[in-house]
Amino acid sequence: MSLFTEEFDVSLLQLFLFNFGLLDCQSSNVPNFPEFVVVGLVDEVQVEHCDSNTRRFVPRQDWMNNVTEEDSEYWDRNTERLLEAQQTFKGNIEILKQRLNQTGGVHIFQNMYGCEWDDETDEVNGYYQFGYDGEDFISFDLKTETWIAPVQQAVPTKHKWDNDKVLVAYRKQYLTQICPYWLKKYVKFGRSSLMRKDLPSVSLLQKTPSSPLTCHATGFYPDRADLFWKKDEEELHEDVVRGEILPNHDGSFQMSADLDVSGLKDEDWGRYSCVFHLAGGQEVSKRLDKRDIRTNWKTNDGAAAGTVIAALLLLPGCFIRLIFYLKKRPQGKVETLLSSSGSLMCVC
C-alpha cells in the first residue's frame, strides 16, 4: 500500500496552507476533542478552519467571506475535499504505525504547506512538509525538486515520490504558481485588516518576589515586533530572557521579556524601562516602577490576587497543548507574506 496517496486535487490544493493534525485520542478522556483539524493562516492569522466535529470549512475572518465573490463554491467544494482528506490521513497513520511497529497510543500526522510572496520584488518561495508525532517526516525541497527524508522510515517514501515526476512537477507548480495566486487573492480582500498596525498594552508581572520580572505586551499586530529592556538609554542583553511571539485568540499577538532583578538596587529601578517596538517604527515604553507590578502573591493594595500568570491546561489522564512554532521571517523587506503555522500535540 502506498504511503500518502496523493488524492488531493487542484481544488484542495488551492487552499494555500493547512495544518492537519490527526489525533487518535480514543484512549484518552478528552471529551469531544476533534481528531482532525485544519487551519489556514495568512501572516500568522487564522483565516479559515475545519475540524471533524463541525465537519464544515468556514472563514475565521470576515474578509474571507469575500472569496465567494469570485468562486461561489469555495467553502462547499473544500469542505468536501477536506472530509475526504481526513480518511487519507487516517490511512497514513495506520501505515506509519506498521512501519514503526507501533501498536496503540496517540499519534499525530501533520501536513503543512504554504508560500511566501514579496510584493515589492514579486519573489515567491514555498514549502511542503509532513510530520509524524511532532517530528519532521518528509519535506519537499523546491530548489532541487526532490524530497528530503530526515528519518530512516521516510526513505522508501522519498524514493517513491522522487520517481514520480508528474507529482514533483505538480508540487512545484502548486508552490510557485497556484499558492501565490490564492495568497494574492486573500491579500486583496484582507488588505486593510492585514496591513493594520495595533499597539499592545504592556504590563509588568512577577510571580514571586524572587522571580524574574516579566514585561508582557499583548494585543499587537502584526507579529513583526521587538520587546526589550533598557537601562538608561542602553539596550540590555544580559539578565534578559526573551520569549517567542505567540498568537492570541483574536488575531493579535503577545510576547514577553524577563529581566533578572535579583541583583538590582532599589535606587536603580527607575533607570530601567521595557520597550515594545512594532516593525515600522511605533513604540510603547514602560518605566520600571514597583507600584505597577502585578504579582501572584499580593496586589499592590495588599489584597490577595488571582493568578496573574496563566498556567497550562491540565486534564486528568491526558494533557493537550496547542503549540505554535513561529517561523522566522526571511531576510529583507517582506511587506506581505505568508508563512506557517502551528502544530497540535496530544500527549497521553
Ligand X SMILES: *[C@@H]1O[C@H](CO)[C@@H](O)[C@H](O)[C@H]1NC(C)=O
Query: Which is nearer to ligand X, 59 or 247 (by Cβ)?
Result: 59
- CA-CA distance, 339 to 116, in Å (whole number)? 6
Cell of 328: 522566522
Residue 136, classed as helix, strand or coil, is strand
Residue 20 binds to ligand X (criterion: CB under 6 A): no
Site string for ligand X, 102-141 (x = CB under 6 A): ----------------------------------------
Secondary structure of 192-259 as H, E, C letters: HHHCCCECCEEEEEECCCCCCEEEEEEEEECCCEEEEEEECCEECCCCEEECCCEECCCCCEEEEEEE
Q: How far is the CB of 44 from ligand X (least distance, A)?
A: 21
- Residue 152 vs 163, nearer CB to ligand X: 152
State the nearest-atom distance from the C-beta of 68 to ligand X, in Å.
9
SS3 at position 254: strand
Beta-ladder partners of 189: none
**In the complex with ligand X, which residue's Cβ is closer, 9 or 119?**
119
Q: How far apart are CA 146 and CA 1, in angstroms?
A: 22
Q: Are 130 and 109 in contact (CB under 8 A)?
A: yes
| Complex with ligand X: residue 100 or 315, whichever CB lies closer | 100
Q: Which of 100, 148, 151, 322 binds ligand X (CB under 6 A)?
A: 100
* Segment 187 to 206, residues that bind ligand X, using CB under 6 A: 189
Q: In whole angstroms, how close is the CB of 58 to ligand X at the nearest point?
A: 16
Q: How far is the CB of 154 from ligand X (least distance, A)?
A: 12
Q: Give me the least distance between CB of 149 and ligand X, in Å please.
A: 14
Counting contacts by CB under 6 A, is residue 220 touching ligand X? no
**Nearer to ligand X among residue 69 and residue 268 (C-beta):** 69
If one asks whether residue 101 binds ligand X (CB under 6 A), the answer comes out as yes
State the minimum distance, in angstroms, from the CB of residue 56 to ligand X: 21
Task: Give CA–CA dist 197/195, Å, rounded.
Answer: 7
How many other C-beta atoms can be found within 10 angstroms of the C-beta atom of residue 243? 13
Minimal distance, residue 98 CB to ligand X, in Å: 9
- Could you tell me which residues are beta bridge partners of residue 213? 259
- State in angstroms the smallest separation of the CB of 146 from ligand X: 24
120 φ/ψ sector (left φ>0, alpha ψ -120 to 50, else beta)? alpha
Rounded Cα–Cα distance for residues 33 and 173 (Å): 35
Binding to ligand X (CB under 6 A): which residues in 42-71?
Answer: 66
Backbone φ and ψ of 295, nearest 5°:
-130, 170
Write the interaction track for ligand X spanning residues 142-181; mark x where CB under 6 A is met and - where it is not: ----------------------------------------
> Apex CA 344: angle with CA 343 and CA 348, to 5°?
140
Chain residues in the site for ligand X (CB under 6 A): 66, 100-101, 189
